[in-house]
């Protein structure tokens, strides 16, 4: 990561590790990638931790670039009053929620915020179609364009709360 001025301290790394679902290596990589989006003069540790990166630059990251909900994702994680930029800690929060080690509760909380919270986050017709297409594509295991009983059962098996909520209360 360059000179000693560009490395996060052990204490800060430990704190970020305690507050996220990321490993030390993932945090260091995230910091390096965040710094690459900053002007050269803001790439020191102190400067980078105070800096904000515009959505335009954040959305150039390949992992977000192809996501049809990229703007919504950034808005949800932004702590900027205008919701148009991310700090390094915002960026870490985003990466943490999308990591494999984040809990299903955390993931569902943020999925709800991204897709269903507030008037300004109401899905457009094209976004709704994209979401439905993605769900159907993931569910259609044999890729025949339909969801059969075994595929439906597979999807439901991955949602343990479905069985408990699918009952008639007398």
Q: What secondary structure does DSSP assign to the chain, as a single string?
A: --SGGGSPPHHHHHHHHHHSS--HHHHHHHHHHHHHTS-GGG-SHHHHHH-EEEHHHHTTSHHHHT-TTHHHHHHHH--STTS-EEEHHHHHHHHHHTSTTS-HHHHHHHHHHHHHSSGGGPPPHHHHHHHHHHHHHHH-TT-SSS--HHHHHHHHHT-HHHHHHSS---
Per-residue pLDDT band for 134 (boundaries 50, 70, 90) equals confident
Question: Domain spans of the chain?
Answer: 4-97, 123-170
Q: What is the CATH number of domain 123-170?
A: 1.10.238.10
Q: What is the CATH number of domain 4-97?
A: 1.10.238.10
Q: What is the pLDDT of residue 119?
A: 56
What is the arithmetic mean of pLDDT over 57-70? 87
**What is the average pLDDT score of the chain?**
84
Q: What is the pLDDT of residue 126?
A: 84
Within this chain, domains 4-97 and 123-170 share the same CATH topology: yes
């Amino acid at each position: 990561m360059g000179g000693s001025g560009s490395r996060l301290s052990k204490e800060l790394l430990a704190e970020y590790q305690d507050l996220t679902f990321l490993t030390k290596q993932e945090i260091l990589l995230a910091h390096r990638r965040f710094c690459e989006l900053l002007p050269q003069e803001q790439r020191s540790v102190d400067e980078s931790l105070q800096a904000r990166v515009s959505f335009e630059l954040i959305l150039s990251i390949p992992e977000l670039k192809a996501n049809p909900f990229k703007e919504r994702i950034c808005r949800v994680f932004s702590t900027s009053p205008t919701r148009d930029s991310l700090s390094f800690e915002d960026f870490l929060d985003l990466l943490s929620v999308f990591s494999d080690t984040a809990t299903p509760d955390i993931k569902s909380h943020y999925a709800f915020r991204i897709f269903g919270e507030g008037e300004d986050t109401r899905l457009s017709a094209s976004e709704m179609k994209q979401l439905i297409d993605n769900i159907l594509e993931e569910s259609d295991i044999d890729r025949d364009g339909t969801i059969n009983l075994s595929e439906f059962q597979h999807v439901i098996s991955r949602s343990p709360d479905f069985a408990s909520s699918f009952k008639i209360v007398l």
